[in-house]
Structure 1
Amino acid sequence: MEVVKDGMMSARAPESASTKAAYEFGFLLEQSLGHVTHTKNLLVNVARDPEVHAHWGLIDFQATGIAGRIPVYRNNWTVRAGTRAYRQVARMNRKTKLDALFFHTQVPAVLAQRWLRKIPGIVSLDATPRQYDELGAFYRHEQGPAWLEAWKWRLNCDCFKSARRLVAWSEWTKHGLVQDYEVPADKITVIPPGVNVDEWRRPTPRVPHSDPVKVLFVGGDLERKGGLVLLEAFRSLRNLGLELHLVTKDRVPPEPNVFVYNNLEANSQPLKDLYHTCDIFALPTFGDCLPMVVSEAGASGMAIISTNVAAIPEIVRNGDTGLTVPAGDAASLTQALRDLATNPALRVTLGEHAMAHVTRHYDALTNASRLLGLLKAEANAARAEKLATSMARFA
C-alpha cells in the first residue's frame, strides 16, 4: 500500500506481471469516531481481492492550518468532507479510469454528487441525518433553523437518488432511509461493518471460573457511552468482588478494583487480549448508531450488556445474545450486572450465542466481499450500458 498525498492511497492485492486488476475502485471514507476502525478493516480485506485495484481517499475530520481559519469551511463538517472528497475523486480520476466509487458515509458524498452521476457509485451510512439528529444531544450536535434543515434534507435526498445503490449498516438505518428520505427499499442493501472474527476469537473456550469477574467497557467518550452510569452500578456491587476495566480517552480518578487504559489502539493485540481476559462487556451508551465494539465483544465470546438504542438490539438481542437495559437506568444496569456476575452458566451461554450471531452476520471479511460484489455488479452494469449505447449509435 502506497501513500500518495493528501490522505490518498493506492493499493491492490499482489499479482503476477502478466495479470491486471479487473476493477479500479475509489473509496472515500469518513475518518471520525468508529468509521476509523471500519476503514482499517476495509483496507485489510479489500486488498485480499486480486481483481480489485483500490484507490483510498481518507477524509479527515480535523480542519488545521489555513483551512482551520476559513469561515463556514472550518465549522461545517459537510462542507469540509464534501470539498475534500470532490478533490480526491478528481485526483483519482486523473490518474486512472475509475469503474466505481464507494462513499462512507453520505457526508462526503453530498457535495460530490457530480461524480456520483458520472461514475457508478454506492453510498454507505450508519445513520440517516434525521436519525443522527434524534441522537444529536449526546453528540453535542444541534439542528439548524427550519429552512436549513429543509435544504439539508433535499441535498441528502438528491445524493441518495444519485447513488446507484445504498448500503445501510443496519435494518434501523434502512428503515430511516425508506421512511424519511423516499428511498425505495429494493435500492438498499444491509451490510454491517463487522470485525475480523478470526482475529478476535478467544484462543480457548470460556468456562466458569473462581477468579474475580471482570467487566470491560470500551468507549472514547466516557459520559456519552454510559461509563459514568456503569461506575455507579459497579460501586453498588463491590461486595461481589468485581473488577472494572475501562478503555477510554477520558481520565478517571483512581478507586479500588477499577483499571483504566487511556492509550489502547483499535484492533491492537493488547486490546484483544483485554477482551479475552474479561468476562462481561458493558456499554450502557446513551447515543450510538451501531458501535463496533459490541461486535468485537461478540466475536470474543463475551456476555454483553448494552442499551436498546438505535441498531444495538440487532446485535444484542435481549436474553439471547446479551442483555439490554434502558439508557441511563442505573438500577436496571446494576441488576443485569448482578445477574451475569453471579451466574457463570448464563455468561457462557450468552457469550456463545453472541459469538455465533456475530460470526454469521458481522464478519468483516465476509461483509467486505459483499460490498465488493455490489461494486463489481454496478461497474459491470455501467460497462454493459456503455457498450449498448455504442452499438446503438452504429446500428
Structure 2
Amino acid sequence: MAGYEFGFILEQALGHVTHAKNLLTNVALDPEVHAHWGLIDFETTGIAGRVPLYRSNWTVRAGLRARREVARMNAQTTLDALFFHTQVPAILAQSWLHKIPGIVSLDATPIQYDELGAFYKHAQGPAWLEGLKWRLNRDCFRSARRLVAWSEWTKHGLVQGYEVPADKITVIPPGVNVHEWRRPKPRVAHTNPVKVLFVGGDLERKGGLVLLEAFRALRHLGLELHLVTKDRLPPEPGVFVYNNLGANSQPLKDLYHTCDIFALPTFADTLAMVLSEAGSSGLAIIATNVGAIPELVRNGETGLIVPVGDVVSLTQALRDLATNPALRMTLGESAMAYVTRHYDAPRNASRLLDLLKAEADAARAQRRASLYG
C-alpha cells in the first residue's frame, strides 16, 4: 500500500496541459505515492455553458470544479496533502486548504499576468474588482502551506506583489522529460538547408508573424521555416506549416530533431515549455526578454535574446546562427546541458513530491502530538 495519498488539482489551459501530462507520467514512478487526479477543464459545455457568471469567469468555473474534485477524492480516501496548479482553481477551494495540507503552484502571479494581459486579450476590471481579486489571491497564498513558483521571476512577483515570505516559496520549473526529447544521434555541423522551427498555438502572440517577416529577408540563404501552430497560413516558398501535431507526440519530437534553430520571438509568455523541449533537443534558441524566459535562454550562453517585436534584431540573430554552424552547435549543446540540470521533469516532479511528503509528515506528527499530548 502506498505511503501517501495525494490529490492533484491541475488546470487544463494553455501550456498547463503539457505540465499535467508530465506530472501524470512522473508521479506514477514513485511507489510511495497513490495519486488522485482532478483535471480542471477550461471549456464549458451543455447547460453550464449558458450560466452567465459560470460561463464567463474562469476563476469561478475552476474553483467550483476544484471543490467538487477534492470532495470526490476525500470521499474515496483520507488525503494526506493537496497540490494545486495553478492558484486559479485553489482560490474558491480554500476551505479544503484549511483542512488538508496543501501546496499551490503557479507560473505567474495575477499582477504579472495583467502586465502581459493585452496579448492574451485579457483586460483588467474596475478598481473595486481588482482589489477583491488581489485579496482573494493573497488569502489563497496564505492558506497554502507552501508555494511552488515556476521561476525566480514568479517568486519575485509573489514577494513584491502579494506579501508572501520568500522562505515560503520554492522555485521548481515544470520542465520536460529530457531523455524523451534528446536527439537519437548527436548533431553535426552543416550549412544547407538550415531549418528553423517555431512551436506556438497562437501564431501572433508567440511572435510567429514577426518570425515570418525575418525569414523572408533571409530566404535567399536557403533556409526553411517550420511552423507548428493552430493557425492556417497560405502556401509560401520555404515555409512548412503543421496544424495537428500533438504535445509530446513522436512526430513533434522528430521535427525538433531534424531542425537546427528554434525561434520563439514571443510578445507574451511566462515560461514557454517549448523552450525546454528545444534545449533538450540540442537546438540553438532565439527568444525574447519576456517573463522568466531569460532564466532559461541565457543570452550568448544557452541561446540568443532579441528585443520584443524587433524584426531587424531577429533577422540578424537568425543570420548569425544560419551562417555559423559552430555557434549553433555551441549554443545547442549548452542549452541541452542547462535544461538537463534545471528543467528535467522527472527530477523536478520528485522535488514536488518531496515537498508534499514533508507537509504530510508534519501534519501526521502534529496529529500524533495532539493525541498523545
What secondary structure sits across from 1:108 in the alignment?
A: coil
Q: How far off its partner does 1:48 sit?
A: 0.6
Q: Which amino acid aligns with 2:51?
A: I
What secondary structure sits across from 1:317 in the alignment?
A: coil
Residue in structure 2 matched with residue 109 of structure 1 by the alignment: 90
Percent identical among aligned pairs is 82
Counterparts of 1:157-306 in structure 2, within 5 Å, are: 157-306=138-287
| Unpaired stretches in structure 2, ≥5 consecutive residues | none
Residue in structure 2 matched with residue 322 of structure 1 by the alignment: 303
How far apart are the structure 2 equivalents of 1:369 and 1:96?
Answer: 23
Matching of residue 36 in structure 1 with residue 21 in structure 2: no
How far apart are the structure 2 equivalents of 1:313 and 1:207?
Answer: 27
Counterparts of 1:57-76 in structure 2, within 5 Å, are: 57-76=38-57
Matching of residue 127 in structure 1 with residue 127 in structure 2: no
Q: How far off its partner does 1:390 sit?
A: 1.0
How far apart are the structure 2 equivalents of 1:286 and 1:210?
Answer: 30
Q: How far off its partner does 1:71 sit?
A: 1.3
Matching of residue 360 in structure 1 with residue 333 in structure 2: no
Matching of residue 81 in structure 1 with residue 73 in structure 2: no
Q: How far off its partner does 1:239 sit?
A: 1.4
| Unpaired stretches in structure 1, ≥5 consecutive residues | 1-19
Matching of residue 90 in structure 1 with residue 71 in structure 2: yes
Residue in structure 2 matched with residue 369 of structure 1 by the alignment: 350
What secondary structure sits across from 1:73 in the alignment?
A: helix
How far apart are the structure 1 equivalents of 2:97 and 2:335?
Answer: 38
How far apart are the structure 2 equivalents of 1:249 and 1:326?
Answer: 25
What secondary structure sits across from 1:57 in the alignment?
A: strand
Residue in structure 2 matched with residue 340 of structure 1 by the alignment: 321
Q: CA RMSD in A?
A: 0.5
Matching of residue 23 in structure 1 with residue 4 in structure 2: yes
What secondary structure sits across from 1:313 in the alignment?
A: helix
Residue in structure 2 matched with residue 4 of structure 1 by the alignment: none
What secondary structure sits across from 2:53 in the alignment?
A: coil
What secondary structure sits across from 1:244 in the alignment?
A: strand
Residue in structure 2 matched with residue 391 of structure 1 by the alignment: 372
Counterparts of 1:137-152 in structure 2, within 5 Å, are: 137-152=118-133
- The runs of 4+ residues in structure 1 deviating greater than 3 Å are none
Q: How far off its partner does 1:162 sit?
A: 0.4
**Cα-to-partner distance string for 1:113-149 (whole Å, 9 max, x where unaligned):** 0000100000000000000000000000000000000
Q: Which amino acid aligns with 2:275?
A: V
How far apart are the structure 1 equivalents of 2:190 and 2:303?
Answer: 20
Q: Which amino acid aligns with 2:71?
A: A
Q: Which amino acid aligns with 2:300?
A: G
Cα contact 2:199–2:264 (8 A) shared by 1: yes
**Cα-to-partner distance string for 1:11-57 (whole Å, 9 max, x where unaligned):** xxxxxxxxx00000000000000000000000000001110000000
What secondary structure sits across from 1:147 in the alignment?
A: helix
Cα contact 2:192–2:223 (8 A) shared by 1: no
2:363 equivalent among 377, 382, 394: 382
**Cα-to-partner distance string for 1:320-346 (whole Å, 9 max, x where unaligned):** 000011111000000000000000000
Q: Which amino acid aligns with 1:134?
A: E
What secondary structure sits across from 2:158 in the alignment?
A: helix
Q: How far off its partner does 1:205 sit?
A: 1.2
What secondary structure sits across from 2:148 in the alignment?
A: strand
Q: How far off its partner does 1:206 sit?
A: 1.2
Q: Which amino acid aligns with 1:222?
A: L
Equivalent residues, number? 373
Q: How far off its partner does 1:268 sit?
A: 0.4
Q: How far off its partner does 1:209 sit?
A: 1.4
Q: Which amino acid aligns with 2:283?
A: M
How far apart are the structure 1 equivalents of 2:241 and 2:171?
Answer: 35
How far apart are the structure 2 equivalents of 1:253 and 1:137?
Answer: 27
How far apart are the structure 2 equivalents of 1:163 and 1:382?
Answer: 13
Q: How far off its partner does 1:176 sit?
A: 0.1
How far apart are the structure 2 equivalents of 1:330 and 1:357?
Answer: 28
Q: How far off its partner does 1:63 sit?
A: 1.1
Q: How far off its partner does 1:211 sit?
A: 2.7
Cα contact 2:191–2:323 (8 A) shared by 1: no
Q: Which amino acid aligns with 1:108?
A: P
Cα contact 2:280–2:335 (8 A) shared by 1: yes
**Cα-to-partner distance string for 1:242-293 (whole Å, 9 max, x where unaligned):** 0000000000110001000000000000000000000000000000000000
**Cα-to-partner distance string for 1:153-184 (whole Å, 9 max, x where unaligned):** 00001000000000000000000000000000
How far apart are the structure 2 equivalents of 1:384 and 1:59?
Answer: 32
How far apart are the structure 1 equivalents of 2:273 and 2:131?
Answer: 31
Q: How far off its partner does 1:210 sit?
A: 3.7
1:48 equivalent among 17, 21, 29: 29
Q: How far off its partner does 1:216 sit?
A: 0.1
Cα contact 2:191–2:325 (8 A) shared by 1: no
What secondary structure sits across from 1:259 in the alignment?
A: strand
